[in-house]
Amino acid sequence: MRAITLFSFSLGLKATRPLAVGLLTMGVLFLTSYKSAYSADIEVGRQKAQLCVACHGAGGNSENPEIPALAGQTAQSLSTALYQFREGNRKNPAMSPFAQNLSNADMNNLAAYFASEKRVVLTHTSSAESQSLGPQLAKQYNCVQCHGPLLLGQQHIPRIAGQQHTYLLAQLKGFKAMTRADMDGNMSSAASVVKDGDLELLADYIAGLNR
């Protein structure tokens, strides 16, 4: 795969660094401040994203109910999804081939780019029944525990509020059937107790959230 040279750091020493090094560090930090964590590069990601936006929409704001929106998604959930498509944990005839050619750095850059975009398009309108029952179901079935009170996601846990409806429902059904890649079975076990009718209501409610 990749060659790695051993690099070494002295530890346990609390010697003060020369001021010049400090200033240089500050300069470097300033110059690279547009980068997000882990050296991911939003601009490089934006350029690499040209193929992605053909299906996922401009800036990752998908208008297709079957294709997930990527704009404003948590970066780690995006890089995780790309990794899973490349390694075969997740399989999709449209996505898997694209992921094959991406390096880890590509994935981090793409994730940083789409995470930095604002979610703007809302194409789904929830039924009145879903709107009234949804908030309680999201609590009862533990969605809010990990996805957060507003279902905006955190770290590797994706934002699901306002996600495309058909995609969302397909993922939930996949988790329930234990055919969708998962982390430690957390989503599979969460979905396993959701009644089929409630699954439909939840997907309809969550897809219509405009946050």
- Give DSSP secondary structure letters for 91-136: --TTHHHHHHT--HHHHHHHHHHHHHSPP--------HHHHHHHHH
Decide: is 9 part of the binding site for other proteins (CB under 8 A): yes
Binding positions for other proteins, 25-64, rule CB under 8 A: 37-39
Half-sphere exposure of 7 (CA within 13 A, CB side): 3
Q: Quick check: 164 and 67 in contact, CB under 8 A?
A: yes
107 binds other proteins (CB under 8 A): yes
Tell whether residue 196 is a contact of other proteins (CB under 8 A).
no
By beta-carbon proximity to other proteins, the closer residue of 38 and 64 is 38
- Other beta carbons within 10 angstroms of residue 53's beta carbon come to 18
Segment lying near other proteins (by CB under 8 A), choices 23-31, 48-56, 114-122, 187-195: 187-195
Please tell me what DSSP assigns to residue 58. G
Among 80, 126, 164, 171, binds other proteins (CB under 8 A): 80
Residues that bind other proteins (CB under 8 A): 1-12, 37-39, 76, 79-80, 82-84, 87-89, 104-105, 107-108, 111, 142, 145-146, 148-149, 154-157, 178, 183-186, 188-190, 192-193
